[in-house]
Amino acid sequence: MDTNIAAHRTTAPLAGAKRRMPPEFNIFLVLIGIALVYEILGWLFVGQSFLMNSQRLTIMILQVSVIGIIAVGVTQVIITGGIDLSSGSVVGMTAMISASFAQASTWPRALYPSLTDLPAIVPIGIGVGIGFVAGFINGQLIARTKIPPFIATLGMMVSARGVSKWYTKGQPVSGLTEEFNFIGTGIWPVVVFLVVALIFHIALRYTRYGKFTYAIGANVQAARVSGINVEAHLVKVYAIAGMLAGLAGVVTAARAQTAQAGMGVMYELDAIAATVIGGTSLTGGVGRVTGTVIGTVILGVMTSGFTFLRVDAYYQEIVKGMIIIAAVVADVYRQKGRKKA
């Protein structure tokens, strides 16, 4: 009997520690597992290391930083039980418009010759502001007219892409100032991503904004009865998501040092994939920015790993789609488990 009591006392703290394990821990283990698989396959089929190449890892992180910025906004939308399909098109639209206000006077084909050499804060502010307006329109359509988020943001996706093509009649915008391009050079896109993630991690976990966001996603009627202005808060969430898509558009243009109407194509699906892989539930009420950050890195590792193994791009898309489906199926089973508990 004493032995049983001692065993119980020994295992109880371990069980408690296991219960206190953050939900992102399992996602992080998946990330480590995927990286190790690529490392092994690299030695078997390519004859070199996947993880020990610092240049490859740097490029990988830079490539997913823009997706990560979008995914932080998409995470908040999905937590409310919504969806945002417009973010990729908003990236293209804001990249084009912000770049047109970032052209240098030395460029002979400036879109606005009298508005060249502007301080970088001007085109950055314009890009972020236009993204905010696009998200605000999404929120108004969803909250005020009760249009399903899928339809409202699908309409914005088509419209924003049309604006990006119409704005310069399909011509690229080049000749950007060095001051504007600076935000896309070196490690700065990653810094922007991490700062955005930190801000909204704090906002979701420790502020009224976060409490309202989770409450709406968990039970919109209960949130309304408790005094939350659901419509106003939804508008705020979608406006923030649009603002972050606008910021991603600015970073995209600065990284490429040019802007094209086709920028951001399919970015919305990558952002949704990163969010869902990171543990955010498509049914709403569950999700964390930290999980989204890990999910974004997982996408980056997968894409970089496929390229490293010389896997055809078509197969990459097929596998990515399968992983999204698997993540959603896993979420469905997690929700069933919570209901049973």
In a domain, 50, yes or no: no
Residues 278-298 have pLDDT tens digits of: 999 999 999 999 999 999 999
For range 267-276, the mean pLDDT = 94
As a whole number, mean pLDDT of residues 134-152 equals: 96
- Is the pLDDT score of 144 beyond 90? yes
Q: Which of these, 287, 269, 69, lies nearest to 154 by C-alpha position? A: 269
What's the gap between Cα 128 and its chain centre?
Answer: 15
Q: Which helix (H) or strand (E) holds 17?
A: helix 2-19
Q: Is the pTM of this model over 0.75?
A: yes
What pLDDT does residue 210 have? 97
pLDDT of residue 272: 94
User: 202-215: per-residue pLDDT in tens?
Assistant: 999 999 999 999 99
3-state secondary structure of 173: strand
Alpha carbons 332 and 311: distance in angstroms, whole number: 30
Query: Cα separation of 31 and 205, whole Å?
Result: 24
Is 11 contained in some domain? no
Identify whether 122 is part of a domain. yes
Q: 165-173 long-range contacts, Cβ below 8 Å, gap at least 24?
A: 165/261, 167/93, 167/96, 167/97, 167/100, 167/261, 168/96, 168/100, 168/111, 168/261, 170/261, 172/258, 172/259, 172/260, 172/261, 173/96, 173/99, 173/100, 173/103, 173/111, 173/253, 173/258, 173/259, 173/260
Residues 6+ apart with CB under 8 A from 189: 62, 65, 66, 183, 251, 255
Residue 165 has what pLDDT? 96
What does the pLDDT look like over 79-96, one tens digit per residue?
999 999 999 999 999 999
Position 189 scores a pLDDT of: 96
Q: Dig out the tokens for 228 from the structure.
A: 């939350």
- The pLDDT of residue 236 is 98
In a domain, residue 221? The reply is yes
Does residue 290 sit within a domain?
A: no
Which pLDDT belongs to residue 305? Answer: 92
Could you tell me the CA-to-CA distances from 196 to 154, 199, 250, 285, 306 in Å, in that order?
Answer: 25, 5, 14, 21, 28
According to the model, what pLDDT value does residue 319 have? Answer: 83
Domain membership of residue 177 (yes or no) is yes
* Inside any domain, residue 216: yes
Listed in sequence order, the residues at least 6 apart from 156 whose beta carbon sits closer than 8 Å to its beta carbon are 85, 86, 89, 90, 134, 137, 138
b/e sequence 206-215, b meaning 16+ C-beta within 10 Å: eeebbebbbb
Q: What is the pLDDT of residue 26?
A: 87
Q: What is the pLDDT of residue 24?
A: 82
The total number of structural domains in the chain stands at 1
How many beta carbons lie within 10 A of that of residue 147, not counting itself? 16
What is the 8-class DSSP label of residue 184?
G
Residue 173 has phi, psi (to 5 degrees) of -110, 120
Residue 40 lies in a domain: no
Mean pLDDT of 228-244: 98
Domain of 143 in residue numbering reads as: 65-265
pLDDT of res. 308: 92
